[in-house]
A = this chain, B = another copy of it.
Amino acid sequence: MATQKLADWSTNLTFASLPREVIDAATQSFYNWAGCTVGGSTHPATTIARTALARFTGTPTSRLLGSGGVDLDAMHAALLNGIASHVHDYDDTHLDTIIHPTGPVASALLAMAESLDRSVSGQEFILALVVGVEAECKVGLAVWPNHYDVGWHITSSTGSIGAAVAVSKLLNLSTQQTAHAIGLAATQVTGLREMFGSHTKSFHPGRAAQNGLLAAILASEGYTSSTEALEAKRGWANVVSSEHHLDEQMATLPPNGRWEMARNSFKPFPCGIVVHPVIDGSIFLHGQLGPNGIQIEEIREVEVIVHPLVLELTGKTAPKDGLEAKFSVYHGAAVGLLFGKATPAQYEDAVVTDERVIWLRDRIRATVDGNLRPDEAVVIMRVPNGGEGDDDSVTEIHVDHAVGSRERPMSVAQLTDKFVDQCISVLGRERTERASKWCWELEKQVDVRQIKTVL
């Protein structure tokens, strides 16, 4: 039932049924994905994979974003763009499932769209992106939290399915073919959480994009699968989770139900989302520093009060490189305070091993408070008064909701800054601005294949 229902829903959804907020959220999601993908295109995880797989690429049709004009076959473009989009842990988050939804779906969809012999309008692209994101988030909600708890990287384990549904929509597959594509995607369960901290974490959304793309292409030519792949006794949900709520989730499919796309959020900082309130607070405190006020060297201690999950997930006190620093609330607090920002530049290996960063990182003390929400934190900076007694001068900030949370979403201006910051060193200023404009205008594009003219 669930598989057929999802396939049927997807094949019948039209652009006209998308509310404005969903179109806007899809545009922002695509925009944020494109910036992250360009930004991640020069990371070793991306470049190693690109070099390793060069001899396997077929007819070049689809742009490797950030490459300065290199096209690959759609399958490899999907993989490499998917890796790049996630490698800085800077992408988007569907907070109810912590799925990073756009990576697997957009990477497959754009690569496939570029390979077609016909034009694909921005509206058609947005519609396919929406069905893909809805699909992965609904199946994700159906197995959350058990599926994540047992150890699956839910972004990729559901992302294959999302990508398959999206590409099926783009290819105008029938309900039956879409169901087969879902089955083919569901049987490729990619992503163990054990891989976090290594290149393989970013491989996950890339491979999920490829899994879904492969599934839809095979199904489009008549390759068969189970049409009860999601719900069967030995189907996806029962195998990958000790508990599931597929029927309940399929009953919430929009427009009658809830649009998951509208609940997507964007990361202001390139690390695990639980660190964000601390970084947010640290950046605020950075604004309180010198030239005539407090100097960094005077700081005696910074206390961060956080939700227990923060130390469980990001408790590394002495990260050795950029990938490890993403799992260190101490590093996040230190760079926020020291530099007043936390972008991929503050997570480069050289920054992680910089003496001043280490000095400050060692002065961060974390305290757990179970009464806080995960997107809430208190950051307290203590500086000796210099006078008599032991009293410190105390500066404190209570971050009620971190920037990027649903309550304090990133603004269009902030998303633009993030995009520009990621693209400018790769593309230069002029091309970055053209690309930014093109991506913001996705809905109006007559043919998304023209992305090659700007990216």
Contact = CB atoms under 8 A, between A and B. Distances in A.
Interface of A: 44-45, 48-49, 51-53, 55-59, 73-75, 115, 150-153, 180, 183-184, 186-195, 197-200, 203-204, 207, 214, 217-218, 220-226, 228-229, 232-236, 238-239
B220 A200 contact: no
A224 B199 contact: yes
Contact of A235 (B115, B151, B197): B151
A88 to B, nearest CB: 16
A194 B152 contact: no
Nearest to A200: B225
Contacts of A56: 58-59, 73-75
Contacts of A59: 55-56
Given A51-B221, A187-B190, A226 B198 contact: yes
The complex is assembled from copies of this chain, and their number is 2
A194 B150 contact: no
Given A151-B235, A199-B225, A204 B187 contact: yes
B187 A203 contact: yes
24 contacts: A45-B223, A49-B221, A52-B223, A55-B73, A56-B58, A56-B59, A150-B234, A150-B238, A153-B187, A187-B191, A187-B194, A187-B203, A188-B188, A192-B229, A192-B235, A193-B234, A194-B226, A197-B226, A198-B224, A200-B223, A200-B224, A200-B225, A203-B218, A203-B223
Contact of A234 (B73, B151, B236): B151
B184 A203 contact: yes
Interface centre among A150, A214, A217, by most chain B C-beta atoms within 10 angstroms, is A214
Contacts of A204: 187
A442 B49 CA distance: 33
B236 A192 contact: yes
Given A200-B223, A200-B225, 7 more contacts: A53-B217, A53-B218, A58-B73, A150-B234, A186-B192, A192-B239, A199-B224
